[in-house]
Structure 1
Amino acid sequence: MSDGFRNSWGRGLTAGWPTLAIMLGASVWGLIWYPLRMLAALGVTGTAASALTSGAGCLFVLLLRRRAIATVRWHWLLPALALAAGVTNLGFVWGSIHGEVMRVLLLFYLTPAWTALFAHFILHERLTWSGAALAALSLAGAMMMLWSPQLGLPVPGNLAEWAGLAGGMGFAMSNVLILKASRVLPDMKPEMRTATIFGGAAVFSSFASLFEAMPAPPAGSHLATAVLLVMGLGFVLGTNNMLVQYGLSRVPANRASIIMLFEIVITALSAWLFAGETPGPREWAGGACIVLASALSSWVHRTKAKPPVGTHSDPDRKDRERAMV
């Protein structure tokens, strides 16, 4: 084997690690619903599961990256980001426990529509025709998926689907606020934004648990199993977030956004294998519109981000693009 071939192969392998990190991160989110349902079967409600796993994830990140705490500075964006993250996490967890996983996730992924709206008012980005078209495409996919002659209006049919929809809105708001925070608080370490997100989810879900009927708490061996699951999920979620951050820091934002859609594939397969959920033609067609809108949204952002020929690139642009994923 020649040195040139070995060097080329080595560079290709090194360049593939960030992509693999993002795919692994997306796979974790595509499978996380199953251990959450295991917690629910043990008597841990959706709100409590969201609070406990998020709190464990926050604690793990703070312990692992405690030196980065010194980079935190007070700003109103931090509680706003924590609140948006709380809505995101609770909507995803509660919806995936109580509803059809695939439908909840597709409603969660209506982010192009909400991102265009929130970015217009918070980041003062002009709503372009392309952005409006992508928002319309994703909303059309949701209407196609939800409409039926028996149900009438194409709206979510149960609380779990409404939770997925609200979680997706929170996710879009989190993306916009992370982008704004990266501009306003450039010295704040990314892992501290992660801790803010997990901490906000823990506090919000703890408050929401006061309004959910609590079954008998797990006891005996069930309690030990529930504690191990919570600790394990906290470790997995914290590690997974840092793994994805590693990938996002080395992969162009538009490509990373498309790779993250791998989560939908993993969710569809796991829902079929573990829950016996098989989407019908209408769900496939509506989901295809939502996925296409997300993929095209990445391409549009990439096109806008390219600097004009002959000009110097913005050194902070890569960080801003990364935050939008």
Structure 2
Amino acid sequence: MSPRLANTLPTLAIMLGASVWGLVWYPMRMLAALGLTGTAASATTSAAACLFVLIVRRRAIASMSWHWLLVALALAAGVTNIGFVWGAIHGQVMRVLLLFYLTPAWTALFAHFILHERLTRSGVALAALSLAGAMAMLWSPELGMPLPANLAEWAGLMGGMGFAMSNVLIVKVSRVLPDLKPEMRTATIFGGAAIVAAFATLFEAMPNPPAASQMGMVAFIVIGLGVVLASNNMLVQIGLAKVPANRASIIMLFELVVTALSAWFFAGEVPGPREWAGGACIVVACVLSSWVHRDNAPAGPPGEAAAKKKSTRAMV
């Protein structure tokens, strides 16, 4: 393999992962149309993904060890998953995703209290920039305060907080459990997503459950989506192991492009001027955040740098 191709493939792997995450809302809406609620769809697809990882990578997971941090990571991943999925099914996809990407604000706050990282001026400025983008997107004279307009947007905001917490906990896990294998982290994330979503199904009624004639299609989408998401996560982690974390963070913003195009093509959702302006602020905050973390990243245990590179989303 030529050096140029060897350098290109990891980038393509991350872009492919971002593309899958940018499209995953559509099969979730298909499941909702077939009668499977957002929480039930989240639980079943996450369970399928977790089972796939446990089967395919069973040798790597055979020597796993449990720790309370893994439970915390599983819960944070569950909040991330259900917030995004439920929001994307019931709300405007692009607005939900932009609220999800308010991670610079939440990451700075969570890292200060959990990782004891000093809250720098640059971190505060980036958090303020991302929040300003959200305010620009959400504000309107009719609604008054710039707050999410419906439960779907609140779900996207909650999912973004869970995503930021997941990334901070991954760094914490790398410090406490430096020998933890990536497969164990992937199984923990998907397993946590399945358990949290299964609990949430108790509070969401299923008025029109899938008909018996549609169960085959529902099972096909659930299993197929689980396998795709688990494979995609493992593929992206391979790419993240070979790409600097700051560059990977920028590449992952390709998800916003795919989401915008797919929402326009499949759902006819076209972002307005306020969504574009607010989204631009959030994207700029994410890009600058990756550069700041590159320049200010402290030296840490050997496993910590790898974990920061591999802190990726394993949704649904």
Query: What's the TM-score once normalised by structure 1's chain length?
Result: 0.93
Question: How far apart are 1:305 and its partner, in Å?
Answer: 2.8
Show the counterpart of 2:46: 54
What secondary structure, in the 3-state scheme, does the structure 2 residue paired with 1:71 have?
coil
| Distance (Å, rounded) in 2 between the aligned partners of 1:317 and 1:198 | 21
Gaps of 5+ in 1: 1-6, 308-312
1:248 aligns with 2:201: no
Show the counterpart of 1:186: 178
Show the counterpart of 1:101: 93
TM-aligned CA distance change 1:300 to 1:71, over 3 Å = farther
TM-aligned CA distance change 1:320 to 1:216, over 3 Å = closer
1:322 aligns with 2:314: no
1:293 aligns with 2:280: no
Question: How far apart are 1:321 and its partner, in Å?
Answer: 2.9
Contact kept? 2:178, 2:304, Cα under 8 Å: no
What secondary structure, in the 3-state scheme, does the structure 1 residue paired with 2:83 have?
helix
TM-aligned CA distance change 1:169 to 1:306, over 3 Å = closer
Contact kept? 1:25, 1:240, Cα under 8 Å: yes
Question: How far apart are 1:317 and its partner, in Å?
Answer: 5.1
Show the counterpart of 1:3: none
Structure-to-structure mapping, 1:122-201, within 5 angstroms:
122-201=114-193
TM-aligned CA distance change 1:282 to 1:37, over 3 Å = same
Aligned length: 312
TM-aligned CA distance change 1:183 to 1:132, over 3 Å = same
- CA deviation vs aligned residue, 1:101-135 (integer Å, no higher than 9, x gap): 00000000000000000000000000000000000
Contact kept? 1:113, 1:135, Cα under 8 Å: yes
Contact kept? 2:86, 2:152, Cα under 8 Å: yes
Question: How far apart are 1:316 and its partner, in Å?
Answer: 4.2
Paired AA for residue 80 in structure 1: A
Pick aligned residue for 1:65 from 57, 61, 64: 57
- CA deviation vs aligned residue, 1:196-254 (integer Å, no higher than 9, x gap): 00000100000000000112321233111000000000001100100110110000000
Contact kept? 1:58, 1:195, Cα under 8 Å: yes
| Distance (Å, rounded) in 1 between the aligned partners of 2:164 and 2:228 | 23
| Distance (Å, rounded) in 1 between the aligned partners of 2:98 and 2:63 | 36
Pick aligned residue for 1:34 from 22, 26, 36: 26
Gaps of 5+ in 2: none
Show the counterpart of 2:251: 259
Paired AA for residue 319 in structure 1: A
Show the counterpart of 1:305: 297
Question: How far apart are 1:166 and its partner, in Å?
Answer: 0.1
Identity of aligned residues (%): 75
TM-aligned CA distance change 1:192 to 1:320, over 3 Å = closer
- CA deviation vs aligned residue, 1:266-289 (integer Å, no higher than 9, x gap): 000000001001111111000000
Paired AA for residue 318 in structure 1: A
| Distance (Å, rounded) in 1 between the aligned partners of 2:311 and 2:200 | 28
Larger Rg: 1
Question: How far apart are 1:314 and its partner, in Å?
Answer: 6.8
1:19 aligns with 2:11: yes
| Distance (Å, rounded) in 2 between the aligned partners of 1:42 and 1:234 | 17
Question: How far apart are 1:306 and its partner, in Å?
Answer: 7.5
Paired AA for residue 19 in structure 2: S
- CA deviation vs aligned residue, 1:147-183 (integer Å, no higher than 9, x gap): 0000100000000000000000000000000111111
Question: How far apart are 1:85 and its partner, in Å?
Answer: 0.4
Contact kept? 2:237, 2:310, Cα under 8 Å: no
Question: How far apart are 1:323 and its partner, in Å?
Answer: 4.0
What secondary structure, in the 3-state scheme, does the structure 2 residue paired with 1:126 have?
coil
Query: What's the TM-score once normalised by structure 2's chain length?
Result: 0.96
Contact kept? 1:134, 1:297, Cα under 8 Å: yes
Show the counterpart of 1:4: none
| Distance (Å, rounded) in 1 between the aligned partners of 2:298 and 2:67 | 31
What secondary structure, in the 3-state scheme, does the structure 2 residue paired with 1:215 have?
coil
| Distance (Å, rounded) in 2 between the aligned partners of 1:71 and 1:296 | 39
